[in-house]
Amino acid sequence: MKRAMTSILPPASPPFPLKVGARGSPLSVAQSGWLRRQLVSAHGHGPDTGEELAPFTAITTTGDRIQDRTLAEAGGKGLFTKELDDALLDGRIDCAIHSLKDVPTHLPDGIVLLAIPPRADVRDALITRDGRALSELPEGAHVGTASLRRAAQLRHARPDLRISPLRGNVGTRIGRLAAGDFDATVLALSGMGRLGVDSQPHCPLDPVAMPPAIGQGALAVTARAGDEAVAQAFARLSEPHTQITIAAERAFLTALDGSCRTATGAYARIEADGTLHLIVEALSGDGAQRFREEARLPGATTATAADLGASLGAGIRARAGAALDWS
């Protein structure tokens, strides 16, 4: 059953200390630290009180343990969230901080998605040793990525490229590139910024031509269903435009029933006049077939944005039929 994002007025006395859990990767630790500081500051405390008021527990997930194959081969859904869900349900933590793109559209019973703070840059970036663009890579260049979406989009744009799996955290992937194992890789700009490695030579990829992962650039907070004190503590961090764009993208993925075996991307943004602009796509793994939809919706709300995303997803699924792997 799909869970709705809640938005409740914050209380006068938030439930500190609040036990926070997240993955132990360098990126997860960095972005969790940032969000914990934002949380305590939003309730009138200095950011240096984060360790005391929002103590942190690093939890290793199945996705962290798997380094010898792609996530699609390992099963895909929930590989970076299951152990955090278990820790929530058994009371070891009060909330979990995720990269939203790792959070399945269908959450386990007893878990809800609470708040999404302002979204960072949604774009992917091509990482090379000299910052060249995708069109400037030599013919047959070797690109490393474990993302089915990125691999399919790269193959669609440049069928000549040689693409191989590349797992590991951001530092590991940059290290493999520096060692000469690959000519390029692709990373999320938001993650590079949060880790402070955005000085690495790179070229941003056009999100219209190559829509990013659903929810890329956004953080998510999950908690136990019915824990109103925790929900209220995080309500001050929610940002309306982010909620609207995320609602559209996740509804699109839900309509496809997409998994890590489906190469899907979405790019939702709010234009200057308040119009929601949504571009979505699904591709075959080899990049040969691409199905895209695009629409604009003036005055969108989270509900109408979700309706639009679901409609575009249904349209792609109907057009693609058996051409794509929906498993």
Residue 212 in any domain: the answer is no
Kind of pairing between the strands at 263-270 and 124-127? unpaired
Residue 11 in any domain: the answer is no
259 and 290 part of one domain: yes
Q: Give the CATH number for residue 254.
A: 3.30.160.40
Reduced to 3 states (helix: H, G, I; strand: E, B; else coil), residue 179 is coil
pLDDT of amino acid 48: 84
CA distances, 276 to each of 6, 220, 268, 298, 307 (Å):
21, 21, 7, 6, 12
Residue 244 in any domain: the answer is no
Last residue of a domain, one of 179, 204, 229: 204
pLDDT of amino acid 10: 43
Q: State residue 254 phi and psi, 5-degree precision.
A: -60, -40
Residues 6+ apart with CB under 8 A from 48: none
Reduced to 3 states (helix: H, G, I; strand: E, B; else coil), residue 162 is strand
Reduced to 3 states (helix: H, G, I; strand: E, B; else coil), residue 281 is strand
CB atoms within 10 A of CB 272: 5
Domain span including residue 93: 20-118+218-238
104 and 26 part of one domain: yes
113 and 134 part of one domain: no
161 and 176 part of one domain: yes
CA distances, 197 to each of 52, 100, 122, 180, 189 (Å):
28, 21, 16, 19, 9
Whether the Cβ atoms of residue 136 and residue 198 lie closer than 8 Å to each other: no
pLDDT of amino acid 4: 41
CA distances, 307 to each of 153, 183, 248, 292, 302 (Å):
26, 41, 7, 17, 9
91 and 232 part of one domain: yes
Q: Verify whether residue 102 is a known catalytic residue.
A: yes
Q: Give the CATH number for residue 100.
A: 3.40.190.10
Residue 279 bridge partners (DSSP): 267, 294
Catalytic residue among 68, 85, 90, 102: 102
96 and 228 part of one domain: yes
Residue 79 in any domain: the answer is yes
30 and 93 part of one domain: yes
194 and 152 part of one domain: yes
Whether the Cβ atoms of residue 247 and residue 105 lie closer than 8 Å to each other: no
147 and 262 part of one domain: no
Residue 326 in any domain: the answer is no
> Within 13 Å, how many C-alpha atoms sit on residue 294's CB side?
9
Paired tokens of 254: 């839900």
Q: Over the chain, what is the mean pLDDT?
A: 90
User: Cα 307 vs. chain centroid, distance in angstroms?
Assistant: 20
Total domains in the chain come to: 3
Q: State residue 112 phi and psi, 5-degree precision.
A: -130, 155
142 and 110 part of one domain: no
Residue 213 in any domain: the answer is no
Read out DSSP for 55-89?
Answer: -EEE---HHHH--SS-HHHHT-TTTTTHHHHHHHH
Tens digits of pLDDT across the chain (327 residues)? 334 444 444 444 568 999 999 999 999 999 999 999 999 999 989 888 878 899 999 999 887 776 655 555 555 567 889 999 999 999 999 999 999 999 999 999 999 999 899 999 999 999 999 999 999 999 999 999 999 999 999 999 999 999 999 988 899 999 999 999 999 999 999 999 999 999 999 999 999 999 999 999 999 999 999 999 999 999 999 999 999 999 999 999 999 875 557 899 999 999 999 999 999 999 999 999 999 999 999 999 999 999 999 999 999 999 998 888 766
Stated pTM of the model: 0.90
DSSP H or E stretch at residue 297: strand 290-297
30 and 111 part of one domain: yes
Residue 210 in any domain: the answer is no
Q: State residue 31 phi and psi, 5-degree precision.
A: -75, -30
225 and 105 part of one domain: yes
Residue 10 in any domain: the answer is no
Helix/strand/coil (H/E/C) assignment for every residue in 107-127? CCCCEEEEECCCCCCCCEEEE
pLDDT of amino acid 1: 37
DSSP H or E stretch at residue 220: strand 219-224
pLDDT of amino acid 8: 40
Cα–Cα distance, 61 to 78 (Å, whole number):
9
